[in-house]
Structures are given as structure tokens and as C-alpha cells.
């Protein structure tokens, strides 16, 4: 099985070199590395053009197109049977591709897999070490649906994910109208038809730093907008005995979190953003009722619904 590691790059900065080299240092015998630069304005493209490795293929956009359009271009150019997503900030541990290849061979039923990860800071220090949980190695679609309804994206990231090419051919590529939640939406599409695999060991170092896209001001508003559609899809897929509880969970947990974000924006003097958040909340719930639930639940500290699961 040939693996295609696909990496969209935009202004990779100080972390790009370590990220790229950690892939090129993998010992898996059959992989290619497809890198697609999204019109970087720093020295990223010059660094990439200076690399010489027969496994590497470099492409570039003439103008900035964004993460998911660029990722789709890289996937379309890839020639492997498995598509290993990668990030410009993170580091692959030795043996990562070998372990993931072995998992796919052992579990032909899974449509995608994700692995454990250690979280590192901007200096490479581990801040949150990986701790194995009770999630099974092969997650049934029904269970995956419930996990993602309650907790969001099951992988927690994009850099610890491998998808089978055949599955992508079936379910389609990433939605390009999404800026934040395109990966989450993809996992939801995959788990409608296939089990999801979980490699219960840390195979990557996931970097958290203030320059990441997810840390940009106002990004939570986009997250709210895009996730609403995904949450409704997952709600509709819940077992019939959980649908009523699912509606209550959205109101008392998810929408209460959104109400908290609205209050935080208001207290920070970001009145325009607070208004936008409230208006968005008002589209799929009653904004004032959401704020009331936030108040009487003490931001879910005094009263908090616990997830319920059904087979």
C-alpha cells in the first residue's frame, strides 16, 4: 500500500523545516510527499524549492486559496492508496507511517484512522502528553456519530488522520465553502458509511501556538456557523431513543457555550462581535433563553448534562 503524505503550506515560518524533515525521515518503504504551497509570502516556498528528494513533489497556487481548496488540490495530485494528511507546524515521530500502514492492513474495514498525539509548545516542549483512553481501536459508525455529537471532531486535529483513497473517491473531497470545520464535516461523512480506526499510541507531536489559524480573533463565530449544520446532521443520525436528549444537550451544553462566548466578547468591549454571536445564536435557538440558561447553570458548572450513549 502506497501512502501519500499531503501537506498544504501557507507561511510556514519557523516550524516548517522540522515538519517537512520529520516526514522525509520516515522509513516506510513506499510513500510520496505532496506539498502544495498556497501563495506563501514568507520564505516557505524558497525553502521548499531547495529540497531535493525523489519522494517529494512540490506545487504552488498563484494566489491564496485557503486550507481546504489547497488540501483538495494536493489530494487530487496524490497517487497513493492512503492519503496521510499533514500540517506545517507539527512533527511526525519515527515509525509513524509504518504504524499507520500496519493498522490499515490489519483493519481493512475502517475508512479512516487517527492516532494519538503529544501536544508541544512553540519551543517543542511537551505540554500535554498523550494518555490512552477507552476508545476502541475500531469505532462503529453509530458510536462515532454519538462521540462527535457530544464532543465534536473525533480526531481533534487534521494532522493525525489517514484516509483511504477509495473512501475519498466515494464520499468526495473536503467542502471548500468551509474555513474551519471542513475536516469535522468530512469525518461525519466518512463515519456514515465506515468504521473509524484509532491507533492508541502517540505518533505525532502536535504544536500549539498563538499564530495558528484557530487562534485568530472572531474565528469562534465562524466555528459556530459551520458547526451548526454538522450538529444537526449528527442529531438526525442519533438513535431514536437519544434524539430528545440530543435536543436538550444542544440547548444546555453547546448553546450555553456559545452564550458564554457572547458574554466574553461583550465584557472585552467587542460589542460588534458580541452582537454577531448573539444574532447567530438566535438563528438556531432563542438567544435570550440561551443567555438565561448560561446564567442559571453557572456556565454549565452548577448544572451539566452528561452524554448518554446507546447501541
pLDDT at 23 (0 to 100): 98
Q: Are 16 and 31 in contact (CB under 8 A)?
A: no
Least confident window among 59-73, 102-116, 198-212, 227-241: 198-212
Return d(Cα 54, Cα 306) in angstroms, integer. 51
DSSP at 243: H
First to last CA, the chain: 33
pLDDT at 255 (0 to 100): 95
pLDDT at 158 (0 to 100): 95
Residue 18 pLDDT greater than 80, yes or no? yes
For 26-45, what is the mean pLDDT? Answer: 96
Of 269, 291, 287, 274, give the one whose Cα is nearest residue 218. 274
For 101-128, what is the mean pLDDT? Answer: 96
pLDDT at 213 (0 to 100): 60
Q: What's the full length of the chain, in residues?
A: 311
- Ramachandran quadrant class, 39 (left: phi over 0; alpha: psi -120 to 50; beta: rest): left
Cell matching residue 19: 515538519
3-state secondary structure of 64: coil
Cell matching residue 290: 440561551
pLDDT in tens, 130-182: 998 889 999 999 999 999 999 999 999 999 999 999 999 999 999 999 999 99
Return d(Cα 283, Cα 267) in angstroms, integer. 22
Return d(Cα 294, Cα 303) in angstroms, integer. 10
Pairing mode of beta strands 3-9, 31-37: parallel
Return d(Cα 65, Cα 169) in angstroms, integer. 22
pLDDT at 21 (0 to 100): 97
pLDDT in tens, 116-131: 999 999 999 999 999 9
Distances (CA, A) of 215 to 38, 173, 190, 221, 243: 19, 25, 27, 12, 33
Return d(Cα 288, Cα 295) in angstroms, integer. 11
pLDDT in tens, 192-233: 999 999 999 999 999 987 666 655 667 899 999 999 999 999
Chain centroid to CA 131: 19
Residue 80 pLDDT greater than 90, yes or no? yes
Return d(Cα 288, Cα 293) in angstroms, integer. 9
Q: Are 167 and 197 in contact (CB under 8 A)?
A: no
* Mean of all residue pLDDT scores within the chain: 95
pLDDT in tens, 240-295: 999 999 999 999 999 999 999 999 999 999 999 999 999 999 998 999 999 999 99
pLDDT at 217 (0 to 100): 66
Amino acid at each position: 500500500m502506497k501512502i501519500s503524505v499531503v501537506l498544504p503550506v501557507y507561511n510556514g515560518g519557523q516550524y516548517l523545516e522540522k515538519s517537512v524533515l520529520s516526514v522525509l525521515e520516515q522509513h516506510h518503504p513506499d510513500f510520496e510527499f505532496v506539498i502544495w504551497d498556497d501563495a506563501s509570502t514568507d520564505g516557505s516556498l524558497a525553502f521548499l524549492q531547495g529540497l531535493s528528494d525523489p519522494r517529494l513533489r512540490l506545487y504552488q497556487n498563484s494566489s491564496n486559496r485557503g486550507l481546504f481548496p489547497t488540501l483538495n488540490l494536493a489530494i487530487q495530485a496524490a497517487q497513493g492508496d492512503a492519503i496521510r494528511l499533514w500540517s506545517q507546524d507539527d512533527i511526525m515521530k519515527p515509525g509513524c507511517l509504518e504504524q499507520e500502514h500496519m493498522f490499515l492492513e490489519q483493519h481493512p474495514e475502517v475508512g479512516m484512522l487517527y492516532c494519538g498525539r503529544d501536544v508541544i509548545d512553540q519551543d517543542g516542549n511537551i505540554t500535554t502528553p498523550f494518555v490512552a483512553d477507552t476508545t476502541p481501536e475500531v469505532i462503529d459508525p453509530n458510536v462515532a456519530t454519538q462521540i462527535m455529537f457530544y464532543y465534536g471532531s473525533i480526531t481533534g486535529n487534521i494532522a493525525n488522520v489517514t484516509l483511504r483513497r477509495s473512501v475519498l473517491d466515494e464520499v468526495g473531497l473536503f467542502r471548500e465553502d468551509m474555513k474551519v470545520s471542513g475536516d469535522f464535516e468530512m469525518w461525519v461523512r466518512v463515519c456514515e458509511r465506515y468504521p473509524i480506526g484509532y491507533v492508541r499510541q502517540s505518533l505525532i507531536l502536535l504544536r500549539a501556538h498563538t499564530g495558528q489559524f484557530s487562534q485568530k480573533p472572531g474565528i469562534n463565530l465562524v466555528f459556530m456557523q459551520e458547526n451548526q449544520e454538522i450538529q444537526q446532521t449528527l442529531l438526525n443520525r442519533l438513535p431514536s431513543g437519544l434524539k430528545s436528549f440530543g435536543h436538550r444537550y444542544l440547548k444546555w451544553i453547546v448553546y450555553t457555550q456559545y452564550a458564554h462566548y457572547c458574554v466574553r466578547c461583550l465584557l472585552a468591549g467587542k460589542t460588534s462581535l458580541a452582537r454577531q454571536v448573539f444574532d447567530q445564536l438566535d438563528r438556531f435557538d432563542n438567544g435570550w433563553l440561551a443567555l438565561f440558561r448560561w446564567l442559571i447553570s453557572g456556565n454549565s458548572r452548577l448544572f451539566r448534562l452528561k452524554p448518554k450513549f446507546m447501541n
